Amino acid sequence: MIAVILFPGTNCENESVRALQAVGLDAEVVRWNTSKDVSAYDGYLIPGGWSYEDRIRAGAIAAQDPLMLKIKEEAKKGKPVIGICNGCQVLIETGIIPGLKDKVQMALAPNIRDYPSGFYCTWVNIKNSSKVCKFNSELSKDEVIPIPIAHGEGRFTTANKSLLEELQKNDQIAFVYCDSKGEVKNRFDVNPNSSELNIAGICNKEGNVLAMMPHPERGSFNRQVPGFKGDFNESESLAPAAKILQAMVKIKSQISGMSKNQESF
């Protein structure tokens, strides 16, 4: 069972549950103030929205919630954790991503472009760019994925430029913005928020935690993808973005296998 975490201001929890169910995973919404033992879940998805109205900075308050400390501990056990849009911001603010030091190392800064500035909602393309990220296990090398974005603070950046070099060295840059042919270009129609190195998603060094700004849960079905021309029956078939969530099935089974092996000793 995957826990879809609901903070005050989250607004993508229901479509996240549907997308997870579509790829074969059981999922349910779990409120931030739950009395349940969240360690019983097999994985976690932190959805988009505006948790706590994005006071101070996007994701900053939710990152301090005790629930995130519990999820951080479960992530250390190898469980899959994905933060999407506001969830991505939360993971960055906790320091779980990039996770190289036990502190915040990056920020999701406001989009900067001549026009339009601020919040921007559109479809973009991202490319699989990591062999380390376990969420990419269902994707082919350099596979291009059409996917929607909807954010005002999606610019991956850091004052420590050597960190970017370290992320590249560790193969932690999971997704980059590209054009439909897979070409990585730093221009508005490709990288609409001017993110450093065209970064769209970053994983931890172990690969089981992913923070990404684009929304795979909003582009998991072919009927959602612009230009789809299939018939009605095909419209419910899974789109390329669904593979990101589908990878949680494999990560979950790997964790389950490890647990069974440990029990046998």
- Location of structure tokens 């992530």: 75
- Location of structure tokens 């790829």: 23
Candidate list 12, 85, 133, 203, residue with the active-site label: 85
CA 73 from chain centre, in angstroms, equals 18
- Location of structure tokens 């999407």: 84
In this structure, what are the phi and psi dihedrals at residue 210, rounded to the nearest 5 degrees?
A: -130, 130
Candidate list 151, 196, 203, 215, residue with the active-site label: 215
Strands (E), the chain: 2-6, 27-31, 43-46, 81-84, 107-109, 120-128, 144-151, 155-157, 173-178, 199-203, 209-212
The answer to whether 217 is a known catalytic residue is yes
The answer to whether 215 is a known catalytic residue is yes
Angle at which helix 66-76 crosses helix 86-94, to 10 degrees, equals 80
The answer to whether 121 is a known catalytic residue is no
Residues forming the active site: 85, 215, 217
